[in-house]
Structure 1
Amino acid sequence: MFVSYAQNFEDVMLWRALKHVEKGFYIDIGAQDPVVDSVSLAFYEHGWRGVHIEPSSYYADKLRLARPDETVIQAAVGSKSGVISFYEIDETGLSTGDAQIAEKHRMAGFSVKETAVSCLPLAEFLERYRDYQIHWLKIDVEGMESEVIRGWSPSEVRPWIIVVESTLPLTQIETHGEWEPILLELGYEFVYFDGLNRFYVSGAHQELKKYFRYPPNVFDSVVLSGTSSNVFCALLNNKLEQREQEFNARMELSKKENQHLTAALAEQVRKNNELHDCVERLNHEREEIEENMKSTNKRLHELESNQVRQEAAYSELQARAEWLNNEWNSAKAKIDALNGEIHQWWMVADGVNRELQSVYASMSWRLTKPLRLVNKLLKSIPGYIKATLLYAKYLPRRLARWFLELGLAHVRRHPRRKAYIKGLLARWPRLQAQIYAIAEARNNQTTIKTSSPSTIVPTGSLDLSGCPASVRTTYLQLWVARGQVVQNREKEGCP
């Protein structure tokens, strides 16, 4: 597939004749734009390389940018060397070195800018590349074609095919009469006219003439690039431009929608981040609550265990209280019974006391009082004598025991002297054994005195202060007995 970029299918005709050449070489004089109306671009895409000669600085820069691997010479081509006036018409292919043609363009409304450019004869350029096979040479210099061709001599370089624009700019007026004779004298033969350009084939390559018998047609398998300035693709270009405008409008709308969606997405991302932070915070709070629940459950379990223990202790206390209440009731019943007996005996004692008082108050009891005293004295004399003899008999022992107890008390207050006393007693074992026996008996008596039940004072709400001494004594004995029963039950593990 061959893509045509040229204005009037010049590249199609050249490709038909030269497509068998691989990596050919060309010289394009008046190259202009690297894409629009370019004769060389299709060859460039198929691996060809060449030289571009363009006096316009605008197009020379575009060529250098688009074709960095090709030679671009910014100069004019004429019949001799020097500096000429060049008339540039920006962004068109109408720039020229012909002052009359430039004036016509100015009168037609174009903006013309005059500059000075270097000019070299065609022969000098051809001689630079005499070692190359120049497969085609194109000359499109807007009315200066005659000046260019006259500068060919004395070079003997002959490109295979020459294409020369042969009408006045923007007209169909042919101008080849001025310069065609020169080409014919150089050995070229005219082979084709396309309405704008004339094609010539070198006498050395007559085999190429046959490719110029017909204009471009369907058998050339050509597609149009759509970049040419001709009107062949105007309809399609207009449609493409319209589609492009619609596409750009849609792109602008899509861009706005994208900006809106981007803003919405950013807002959603922000909300998501807030939700994420909220979820993180809630998770943290949930973990804290779970920890608190664990601690609470543990504490509740402990409280339940304590409650169970307390209920068990309460049940035990209730049972013990019930037992104590029963004991108290039993003791109270016994006390009531004893009180009854005591009252009965009190009545008896009161009767006896009244009888005794009546006896004491009788005359006979008062008259016999001296006799009773004498009789009591006589009866007590033997007892007093016996007691005095017994006291005198045991007095030395009592004195010895008393001194011995004083000594033991002194030793207890002064422990340092205990070892010395033990050493002395060790000499008399019998005395030592007696003293140890006395000390042990003394200790036992002390223990009995401190723990005697007689010292136990009963507690409770029962007030016996108005009862006789015998009643209080009996009640005290009952209380001590009860305490001993309780102690025995506790030792046996009974409630």
Structure 2
Amino acid sequence: MRKYIKKIVPARYRYRIVTTFKNIFGGFGNTYYSQNGEDVILASLFRKTARGFYVDVGAHHPERYSNTRLLYKRGWRGVNIDPDASAARLFQKKRKRDTNICIGISRERGEKQFFMFADPAVNTFSPAMANVWQEGKNIPLRATIVVKTAPLREVLSEVVPAGMRIDFLNIDAEGLDRDVLESNDWERFRPEVIAIEDHGFKADVPSESAVYRFLREKGYTLHAVMKFSLIFVRETPHA
């Protein structure tokens, strides 16, 4: 990156650009893990937060496509939630500081069918999304199982330490992201930053998105759009 800057930037501007890059991203040659560059944005937003706390719903993998791996490497800890037992075991091995839970998130406590694919990144509770991956994208369905589910507010009440502020909430529920949002207690658990998938989001008409409308009503501003990921920032941060 430094060599590339030297080639295209006049000498009198290089120091300012290099310094800015270091301040935001911590230097050159960093390893990032997110699928669409989300953790680059997060590194900027949390550059002054040394020991934060995150909640990752639909965590999938401790490294691959992870929006929290870089934060963990920087000393953060948090809660990883995924209904895939093999994913939960991997988190137990790779994220020793974290609390790792094998459960699905839904509006009400109960059980749901969980569609598991050859690519675990697209595992989902949504029959509609399962059809998209299987028929539209030709990703083989590996299994369909029944897993226990609970509202996010109940899970967080059990595992988030008393008085702990949630700095970052990541939601990747493959089609049921709105259900996850609605299952939270927004008076008690109000993250500073939220990353959430919304495959139908249109930047020119954001109000058509149910996710966008919900989070705007809860006091969040859209900060960045990374392909199908939206990053929201709380309008009134914690003191």
Normalised by the shorter chain, which TM-score bucket? 0.7 to 0.9
Greater CA radius of gyration, 1 or 2?
1
Q: Contact between 2:198 and 2:211, CA under 8 Å: does it hold in 1?
A: no
Partners of 1:175 and 1:79 in 2: CA distance: 23
Partners of 1:175 and 1:195 in 2: CA distance: 17
Partners of 1:191 and 1:179 in 2: CA distance: 14
Normalized against structure 2, the TM-score is what?
0.78
Partners of 1:126 and 1:204 in 2: CA distance: 22
**Greater fraction of residues in strand:** 2
Query: Is 1:131 matched with 2:163?
Result: yes
User: Relative to structure 1, is the Cα distance of residues 176 and 86 closer, same or farther in structure 2, using a 3 angstrom cutoff?
Assistant: farther
Deviations 1:47-74 (A, max 9, x none): 1111100111121111111112311110
* Deviation for aligned residue 1:109: 4.4
Deviations 1:201-237 (A, max 9, x none): 1122299xxxxxxxxxxxxxxxxxxxxxxxxxxxxxx
Q: Contact between 1:162 and 1:201, CA under 8 Å: does it hold in 2?
A: yes
Deviations 1:60-94 (A, max 9, x none): 11111111231111011111111111111144300
User: Relative to structure 1, is the Cα distance of residues 21 and 116 closer, same or farther in structure 2, using a 3 angstrom cutoff?
Assistant: same
Partners of 2:85 and 2:231 in 1: CA distance: 28
Partners of 1:185 and 1:48 in 2: CA distance: 29
Equivalence for 1:411: none
Partners of 2:211 and 2:197 in 1: CA distance: 11
Q: Contact between 2:192 and 2:238, CA under 8 Å: does it hold in 1?
A: no
Equivalence for 1:57: 85
User: Tell me, which stretches of 5 or more residues in structure 2 are unaligned?
Assistant: 1-26, 201-205
User: Tell me, which stretches of 5 or more residues in structure 1 are unaligned?
Assistant: 169-173, 208-495
Equivalence for 1:81: 109
Deviations 1:129-185 (A, max 9, x none): 2521111101011111111111124643200000111116xxxxx997123222122
* Deviation for aligned residue 1:40: 1.2
Q: Contact between 2:112 and 2:148, CA under 8 Å: does it hold in 1?
A: yes
Equivalence for 2:188: 156
Partners of 2:141 and 2:156 in 1: CA distance: 33
User: Relative to structure 1, is the Cα distance of residues 34 and 78 closer, same or farther in structure 2, using a 3 angstrom cutoff?
Assistant: same
Equivalence for 1:177: 209
| Matched ranges for 1:183-332 at <5 A | 183-205=215-237
Q: Contact between 2:207 and 2:213, CA under 8 Å: does it hold in 1?
A: no
| Matched ranges for 1:93-172 at <5 A | 93-107=121-135, 108-128=138-158, 129=160, 131-153=163-185, 155-167=187-199
User: Relative to structure 1, is the Cα distance of residues 187 and 155 closer, same or farther in structure 2, using a 3 angstrom cutoff?
Assistant: same
What do you get for the CA RMSD once the two structures are aligned?
2.2
Partners of 1:175 and 1:65 in 2: CA distance: 41
Partners of 2:186 and 2:35 in 1: CA distance: 32
Give the paired residue count. 202
**Greater fraction of residues in helix:** 1
Q: Contact between 2:111 and 2:147, CA under 8 Å: does it hold in 1?
A: yes
User: Relative to structure 1, is the Cα distance of residues 83 and 145 closer, same or farther in structure 2, using a 3 angstrom cutoff?
Assistant: same
